[in-house]
Every structure is written in structure tokens, then in C-alpha cells.
Structure 1
Amino acid sequence: MGSVDSWVWWLLVAVGLGLPLAVTSLPEFGMFAVGAAVAAAAAGLGADAVWQFVTFIAISVAMLVLVRPIAYRQLRKGPQVRMGIEALQGATAIVQERVDGGAEGRIKLNGEIWSARALHPERVYEPGQQVDVVEIQGATALVV
């Protein structure tokens, strides 16, 4: 079996390890598949069988130690869903009654009327203008 044959075998191993990754979504299979692909490259460059195997083990272990914790942290975190008042921050609203830094005005935010105050006291927003909600303090929206 020549070096050409061994790199083909390593590629078959990489593909074989990639299939369970697609079916089970376990990232470890992908990490072993990367190790096999790097071993195939080593074989293609003329490394003997011992170095191919050492390369496979070293890359696979390095991936498990370095990449696996990051992958699982991302999987556990899940999508970021903002709810309640957090979801209103950054939303766009329409001024209903004049809003400034002194007296509270009114805005229409997500179909509801909210009291609002300008974040910067010198700014004035007239009815019909669009504003962005920066923060919610109690029942009052701070807008820019």
C-alpha cells in the first residue's frame, strides 16, 4: 500500500466520521473528521503510517481540548431572546405628544401609548417624529 492509498483511506475515514456529525449533531465527530483530513494531508505529503496516526491523534485531541468547550458553550447559550422591557429597548416609536427633557410627552410604542422623556434635555421631539427607545425607567421611555 503506497502513500497514495493511505491518503485515500484517511479521506474515507474523514467522510465516515463526518456522516454521524450530520446525523447526530455531535461536534466531536467533526473534530475527529478534521484530524483524519489532516492525517490525509500528511499522507499525501509522504509521511509514513506512524506520523499519519500521530497527526490524527494530535489534531483530534487538540480539537477536543481547544474547540469542544467553545462549541458546547455556543450550543448551551442558544438564541438570544429579549422579553419584556428588554425587548422595547432599541425599538422605534412615534411621538404622539411633544417630548422633551423636562415634561413628559407621549409616544406610541408597539401599538401602546407610553409616557416618554428625551434622553438629552436639550432635544425636543414633535408629534409625528420617529424616535428610538434607549431605556425604560418605570413606565417612562427615554428616547433619542
Structure 2
Amino acid sequence: MAYFWWFLIALGLAVVEVISVDFFFLMLAISAGAAGITSLLGFDLTAQIIVFAVVAIVLLLTLRPWARRVLERSVPNTRLNFHALLGQEALVEETVTGEGGRVRLAGDTWTALTKDEVDLEVGEVVYVNEIAGASVVVSRVKA
């Protein structure tokens, strides 16, 4: 009956892997599956734990680094969340100073400021240089 628990552990680790996508928990899930097969073959708990540990170590040292390299090469470097806004054009809707103002960015109105001493006037096209809390820092020059 120990095989049931090993397979349940393997399933739980596989679910965690789907969330993390790091290949660490996948290696442990495969190891738990190997320990479950060892249990099905009639070996005692000590042998099952040894199989789990050996398979985990071998997979973590060999298969995981290879799988991570393959994944990193196949997935494009996509900027997400606020990183995707950096360098984007924005249109000044309300004069932007070092104290504040408003710009139209990606279809939304954002609070904006500039680090330059120059005020940015309504209608100017500016570029997002950084994100400061809930505001964007903009300038006339693309950073």
C-alpha cells in the first residue's frame, strides 16, 4: 500500500511543478514515482527511500540543468508587467513637471513626472524612463 502514498506524493509534486515551472519539483515527482514502482515490486521502505534519493540526485544533477537550458532557449525574453512599459511612447495630457502631471500611455492615463528641469507641455510625445510607484518618469529622450 506504500506505493499509493508514493504516487500521491508524485502527483502533488507534479502539481507544484506546474505552478513553479522550475523543473525541481518535476525531478522529485519522477523520483517519488520510481520509489512507488520500487514499492510495487515488493521492496521494503529503506530500499524505496534509497531509490527516491538516488533518482532525485541523479535527475537534479543531470536532467534538470539540461531541461532548463532547453526551456530558456525556446522561450522568448518577453518583458511583462511594468517592464513592458519602459521605453514606450506616451502623450502628455496635462503639463508634466518634477511635481507631477498626466500622460496617456498604453490606452490609460498615468500620473507622470520628469526628472529634468524642463516642463513637458500638452501634446508632446515623451518616453517612459522608469516607474516610480504608481507614476511614470518620462522625458523627451528615449532611455
TM-score (norm 1): 0.50
2:73 match: 77
Q: Residue type matched to 2:48 in 1?
A: Q
| CA distance in structure 2 between the aligned counterparts of 1:75 and 1:45, rounded to whole angstroms | 34
SS of the aligned residue for 1:26 comes to coil
| CA distance in structure 2 between the aligned counterparts of 1:19 and 1:79, rounded to whole angstroms | 21
Q: How large is the Cα RMSD of the aligned pairs?
A: 1.7
| CA distance in structure 1 between the aligned counterparts of 2:73 and 2:39, rounded to whole angstroms | 38
2:42 aligned to 35, 43, 46, which one? 46
Q: Residue type matched to 1:65 in 2?
A: L
Deviating 4+ runs (over 6 angstroms): none
1:102 match: none
| CA distance in structure 2 between the aligned counterparts of 1:59 and 1:20, rounded to whole angstroms | 19
Asked if residue 26 in structure 1 is aligned to residue 25 in structure 2, the reply is: no
2:90 match: none
Shift of 1:75: 2.1
| CA distance in structure 2 between the aligned counterparts of 1:66 and 1:76, rounded to whole angstroms | 16
| Number of residue pairs aligned between Structure 1 and Structure 2 | 77
Q: Larger Cα Rg: Structure 1 or Structure 2?
A: 1
SS of the aligned residue for 2:57 comes to helix
1:17 aligned to 3, 7, 13, which one? 13
TM-score (norm 2): 0.51
- Structure 2 unaligned spans of 5+: 77-143
| CA distance in structure 1 between the aligned counterparts of 2:75 and 2:4, rounded to whole angstroms | 39
Shift of 1:58: 0.5
Aligned positions of 1:75-114 closer than 5 A:
75-79=71-75
Contact 2:38 2:51 in 1 (8 A): yes
Shift of 1:76: 2.2
* Identical counterparts, % of pairs: 29
- Structure 1 unaligned spans of 5+: 81-144
Shift of 1:41: 0.3
Shift of 1:27: 0.7
Q: Residue type matched to 2:38 in 1?
A: A
Deviations 1:74-131 (A, max 9, x none): 1222358xxxxxxxxxxxxxxxxxxxxxxxxxxxxxxxxxxxxxxxxxxxxxxxxxxx
| CA distance in structure 1 between the aligned counterparts of 2:57 and 2:12, rounded to whole angstroms | 18
